[in-house]
Amino acid sequence: MIIYLDMDGVIADFFKRFAELNDVAHWKTIKEKDKALRALGSTDYFNQLDTFYDDDVDVSAEIVNYVKKASIDNNIDWGICSSPLRGDHNNSSYWKRVWLQDRDFVPSIENMVFTSHKSKYAINGLTGRPNILVDDKISNIIEWKNKGGIGIRFQADQDDYKEYLFPALEDAIRNNK
Ligand SMILES: [Mg+2]
């Protein structure tokens, strides 16, 4: 089993920086979102993102450290499963990798996945058993589950990592070992 963490919305605060760059209080009020997204291409945007904070606590580091420890304690793997920016695959993946390295969030290289087709990783290639995906995007979770994986929908600025994410991960690991 591999526990995959999505980046944007789960450990990287994509939307806060996206709003800042477009001079709006909330990204949903950006007028031409597609154009604004395209403008991120060929830049180091993904290295400009903050981790999520709750007062002084780095929530993203708490999450990654929890998953690292859970993988050791349960003798399973963990990884990153993140979608690159459309039309900017190599460049955005590069800066995502730099961001992970700077924060000591890097999993083993084979489990660091940048793909637009996350659900290809829903089933473990070695064991035929489900992998876990933590992701904020509901369509990613639905596709992952449709392929037989275990999906946990989690959005760091909205859901409680201690009350909700950690117990959900504990259950998923215990029930599928
Ligand atoms: Mg996301």
CA of 152 to the centre of ligand 1 (A): 12
Within 10 angstroms of residue 57's Cβ, the number of other Cβ atoms is 12
Per residue, what are the HEC states of 157-170? CCCCHHHHHHHHHH
Q: What is the pLDDT of residue 176?
A: 86
Element holding 62 (H helix, E strand)? helix 59-73
What pLDDT sits at residue 67?
Answer: 98
Determine the distance separating the centroid of ligand 1 and the alpha carbon of 60, expressed in angstroms: 13
Cα-to-centroid distance, 30 and ligand 1 (Å): 18
The residue count of the chain comes to: 177
pTM across the whole model: 0.97
The mean pLDDT values, 10 residues at a time, for the chain of 177 residues are: 98 97 95 96 98 96 98 97 97 98 98 98 95 98 98 97 98 91
Residue 134 backbone phi and psi in degrees, to 5: -105, 120
pLDDT, tens digit, for every residue of 76-125?
A: 999 999 999 999 999 999 999 999 999 999 999 999 999 999 999 999 99
Pairing of strands 77-82, 112-114: parallel
How far, in Å, from the CA of 170 to the mean position of ligand 1?
Answer: 21
Tokens of 6: 């999505």
Q: Domain 2-174 belongs to what topology?
A: Rossmann fold (3.40.50)
- Which of 129, 93, 86 is CA-nearest to residue 109? 93
Burial 63-73 (b: 16+ CB within 10 A, else e): bbebbeebbee
Q: What is the pLDDT of residue 177?
A: 74
Q: From the CA of 134, how far away is ligand 1's center (Å)?
A: 9
Report helix angle 166-175 to 59-73, nearest 10.
20
Q: Is the dihedral of CA 70, 74, 79, 82 positive or negative?
A: negative
Alpha carbons 60 and 138: distance in angstroms, whole number = 20
Cα separation, 164 vs 147, in Å, equals 24
